[in-house]
C-alpha cells in the first residue's frame, strides 16, 4: 500500500498535499456521507481551527495556568465552558478532553476506582466500546455489567436493571446510558429514579454519553438528560454537534468532590495540553447551534424519519418499526438478506454512498466483523441542505443498488449528481 521507504522528502511533502486534496474532493464533495458519527464543519469553524493556538500550551485551568502567554486561551476556554453550561443547563463544563472516548475515561476515572462495578449497554444494543471491558472502562480496571435491553422495543429493560442494581449494592458506581446506535431516547428519568431508590446516599451516578445526539440536544429536539436526572453528560463535539473533533464533560447537581475528581481525571490525569486550536472553533460551533440548532435538529430528525419510511416502503428491514423507526439522526436496517453488513456497506461505498456496518440489537458481539446491520446518519446531508425529497432519492438509490442490482457505477453517478446539487453548508452564519 505504501512506498514510504523509497520516496524522497520532497515527494513525501507533495504526497501529503495531494492526499488532502483528494480527500477534500472525494469525501468532502463527491460522496453522500451517511456516517452517523461524522459531520461537516462550516467554513467559519474550519477557518478558526487553524491559528496560532495550534502551536501553544496551556496546562492548568482558566486563570490558573502553568505557562505564561495564555491570556486568549483563558478567554476562549472560559467562554466555551460558560456557553456549554448555558446551552445544556449544566453547572460544570470541561472542554479539555480530546475525544468522546477520553471524556468517558475521565468520567470513569473520576467516579470509580479499579475493581468497582459500572453498568452500560452492550455493543450490539448500542453501547460504545469505551464503556465496555475492552475499552476505557476496562482500562480503568472496572467490572462492566450489561444493562438489560429489550431488543424488540429497542429500549432498556428497567425491571432487569432494577435486579442488577439490587445485586450490585456495594460496588456499583456508574450507570451509563446513551450509545452509538441510538434511535430513541433512553429512559433516563426512570433509570435515575431507580438509582435514587437503590442508592439513596448518592454513591451511584447516572452518566449519559451524548456523543451521537449532542447536536440534537443542543437544538432542543432530543431528550434533555440533565432535566431527566443524569448528573454527568459526556460527549464528542463533532457528530450531530458540528464542531471540531474533541470531547466534553458536563455535570449538574453532582457533589463537589466527584466534580473535582472528574476535573483531576481530565487534567492532570489524561490531558496535558488540550490541543488549543479546537477551542475557538468549538465556541463558533456552539454559537451556530444557539442560533440555528433548533432548525437543524428539526430537519435532521424529519429527514431520518423520512429516509427510514422510504427505505421501509422499498422493502428494507428497517429497525424500530414498532416505534416509528427513529427519533434521532440515525436509521438502521438489517442487511442479512443482501449478504450482510460488510458486503452491503462496501457495495454502497462503491456507489459513492458512505455508511457503516453495525451490529444490531440482540446480535452476538462475535459478529462484529461482519454484522447484520447498516447504520445511517442524516445529519451531514441535512447540513448541506437536503430535505425530505432528497431522502426519497437516497432511498431510491439504495433500492436500485441493493434490490435491483443496478450497476454500482451508474448509481455512483447519480449519487454524485445529487451530492453536487448541495455545495453549501447551511445552519451557519453567512
User: Closest distance between ligand PLP and the C-beta of residue 98, in Å?
Assistant: 8
Peptide bond into 324 cis (omega under 30): no
Q: What SS3 state is found at 150?
A: strand
332-351 positions binding ligand PLP, by CB under 6 A = none
Q: Stretches 152-160, 175-183, 381-389, 390-398: which one binds ligand PLP (CB under 6 A)?
A: 175-183
**306 in contact with ligand PLP (CB under 6 A):** no
> How many residues interact with ligand PLP (rule CB under 6 A)?
15
- Of 33, 37, 344, 382, the one binding ligand PLP by CB under 6 A: 37
Nearer to ligand PLP, 98 or 416 (CB): 98
Instruction: Compute the distance between CA of residue 229 and CA of residue 243 in angstroms, rounded to an integer.
Output: 26
Query: For every residue of 205-258, which 3-state class applies, written as one string?
Result: EEEEECCCCHHHHHCCCCCCCCCCCCCEEEEECCCCCCCCCCEEEEECCCCHHH
Q: What SS3 state is found at 148?
A: coil
User: Closest distance between ligand PLP and the C-beta of residue 376, in Å?
Assistant: 14
CA torsion angle 134 138 143 145 (round to 10): -40
Instruction: Compute the distance between CA of residue 121 and CA of residue 362 in angstroms, rounded to an integer.
Output: 11
Residue 215 Cα distances to 15, 243, 344, 371, angstroms: 35, 9, 28, 27
Nearer to ligand PLP, 180 or 352 (CB): 180
Task: Give the chain's length.
Answer: 430
User: Closest distance between ligand PLP and the C-beta of residue 178, in Å?
Assistant: 6
User: Closest distance between ligand PLP and the C-beta of residue 174, in Å?
Assistant: 14
**122 in contact with ligand PLP (CB under 6 A):** no
Contact 254, 279 (CB under 8 A): no
Contact 280, 56 (CB under 8 A): no
Q: What SS3 state is found at 358?
A: strand
Nearer to ligand PLP, 182 or 353 (CB): 182
197-226 positions binding ligand PLP, by CB under 6 A = 209, 211-212
Q: Rounded to 5 degrees, what angle do the CA atoms 326, 123, 249 make?
A: 80
- Of 101, 111, 205, 206, the one binding ligand PLP by CB under 6 A: 101
User: Closest distance between ligand PLP and the C-beta of residue 243, in Å?
Assistant: 11
- Report residue 215 as a C-alpha cell: 447536536
User: Closest distance between ligand PLP and the C-beta of residue 40, in Å?
Assistant: 16
User: Closest distance between ligand PLP and the C-beta of residue 248, in Å?
Assistant: 10
Nearer to ligand PLP, 121 or 161 (CB): 121
- Report residue 35 as a C-alpha cell: 456516517
User: Closest distance between ligand PLP and the C-beta of residue 343, in Å?
Assistant: 23
**132 in contact with ligand PLP (CB under 6 A):** no
- Of 145, 180, 379, 428, the one binding ligand PLP by CB under 6 A: 180
Nearer to ligand PLP, 37 or 70 (CB): 37
- 189: number of CA atoms within 13 Å, CB side? 5
Nearer to ligand PLP, 207 or 212 (CB): 212
**192 in contact with ligand PLP (CB under 6 A):** no
For residues 81 to 100, the per-residue mask of contacts with ligand PLP, x marking binding by CB under 6 A and - elsewhere, is ------------------xx
- Edge-to-edge strand order for the sheet containing 117-120? 92-94, 247-251, 232-236, 205-209, 172-178, 117-120, 143-146
User: Closest distance between ligand PLP and the C-beta of residue 423, in Å?
Assistant: 27
Handedness of CA 262, 268, 272, 276 (dihedral sign): positive
235-294 positions binding ligand PLP, by CB under 6 A = 236, 247
Instruction: Compute the distance between CA of residue 81 and CA of residue 248 in angstroms, rounded to an integer.
Output: 9
**179 in contact with ligand PLP (CB under 6 A):** yes
Nearer to ligand PLP, 191 or 418 (CB): 191
User: Closest distance between ligand PLP and the C-beta of residue 136, in Å?
Assistant: 9
**51 in contact with ligand PLP (CB under 6 A):** no
User: Closest distance between ligand PLP and the C-beta of residue 182, in Å?
Assistant: 7
8-state DSSP, 273: S
Helix boundaries (H) for 314-387: 340-350, 379-383
**368 in contact with ligand PLP (CB under 6 A):** no
Query: What does the binding site for ligand PLP look like in residue numbers (CB under 6 A)?
Result: 37, 99-101, 104, 128, 130, 178-180, 209, 211-212, 236, 247
Amino acid at each position: 500500500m505504501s512506498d514510504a521507504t523509497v520516496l524522497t522528502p520532497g515527494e513525501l511533502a507533495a504526497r501529503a498535499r495531494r492526499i488532502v486534496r483528494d480527500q477534500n474532493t472525494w469525501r468532502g464533495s463527491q460522496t453522500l456521507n451517511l456516517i452517523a458519527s461524522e459531520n461537516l464543519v462550516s467554513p467559519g469553524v474550519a477557518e478558526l481551527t487553524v491559528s496560532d493556538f495550534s502551536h501553544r500550551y496551556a496546562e492548568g485551568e482558566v486563570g490558573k495556568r502553568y505557562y505564561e502567554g495564555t491570556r486568549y486561551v483563558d478567554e476562549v476556554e472560559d467562554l466555551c465552558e460558560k456557553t456549554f453550561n448555558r446551552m445544556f443547563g449544566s453547572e460544570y463544563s470541561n472542554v479539555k478532553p480530546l475525544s468522546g472516548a477520553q471524556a468517558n475515561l475521565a468520567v470513569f476515572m473520576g467516579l470509580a476506582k479499579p475493581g468497582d462495578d459500572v453498568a452500560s449497554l452492550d455493543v450490539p444494543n448500542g453501547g460504545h466500546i469505551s464503556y465496555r471491558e475492552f475499552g476505557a472502562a476496562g482500562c480503568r480496571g472496572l467490572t462492566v455489567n450489561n444493562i438489560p435491553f429489550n431488543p424488540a422495543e429497542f429500549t432498556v429493560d428497567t425491571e432487569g436493571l432494577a435486579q442488577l442494581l439490587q445485586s450490585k449494592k456495594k460496588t456499583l458506581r456508574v450507570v451509563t446510558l446513551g450509545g452509538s446506535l441510538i434511535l430513541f431516547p433512553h429512559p433516563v428519568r426512570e433509570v435515575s429514579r431507580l438509582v435514587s431508590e437503590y442508592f439513596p446516599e448518592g454513591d451511584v451516578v447516572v452518566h449519559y454519553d451524548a456523543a451521537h445526539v449532542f447536536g440534537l440536544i443542543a437544538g432542543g429536539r432530543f431528550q434533555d438528560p440533565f432535566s431527566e436526572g443524569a448528573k454527568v453528560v459526556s460527549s464528542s463535539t463533532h457528530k450531530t454537534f458540528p464542531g471540531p473533533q474533541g470531547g466534553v464533560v458536563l455535570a449538574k447537581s453532582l457533589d463537589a468532590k466527584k466534580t473535582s475528581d472528574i476535573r483531576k481525571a481530565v487534567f492532570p490525569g489524561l490531558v496535558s495540553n488540550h490541543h488549543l486550536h479546537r477551542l475557538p472553533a468549538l465556541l463558533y460551533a456552539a454559537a451556530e447551534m444557539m442560533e440555528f440548532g433548533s432548525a437543524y435538529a428539526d430537519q435532521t430528525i424529519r429527514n431520518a424519519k423520512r429516509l427510514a419510511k422510504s427505505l421501509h416502503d422499498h422493502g428494507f428491514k428497517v429497525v424500530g418499526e414498532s416505534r416509528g423507526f427513529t427519533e434521532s439522526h440515525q436509521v438502521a436496517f438489517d442487511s442479512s438478506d443482501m449478504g450482510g453488513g460488510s458486503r452491503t456497506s462496501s457495495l454502497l461505498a462503491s456507489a459513492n454512498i458512505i455508511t457503516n456496518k453495525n451490529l444490531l440489537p440482540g446480535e452476538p458481539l462475535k459478529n462484529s466483523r461482519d454484522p447484520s446491520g447498516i447504520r445511517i446518519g442524516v445529519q451531514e446531508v441535512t447540513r448541506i441542505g437536503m430535505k425530505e425529497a432528497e431522502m426519497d432519492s437516497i432511498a431510491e438509490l439504495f433500492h436500485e443498488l441493493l434490490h435491483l442490482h443496478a450497476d454500482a457505477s451508474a448509481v455512483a453517478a447519480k449519487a454524485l449528481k445529487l451530492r453536487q446539487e448541495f455545495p453549501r453548508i447551511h445552519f451557519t452564519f453567512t
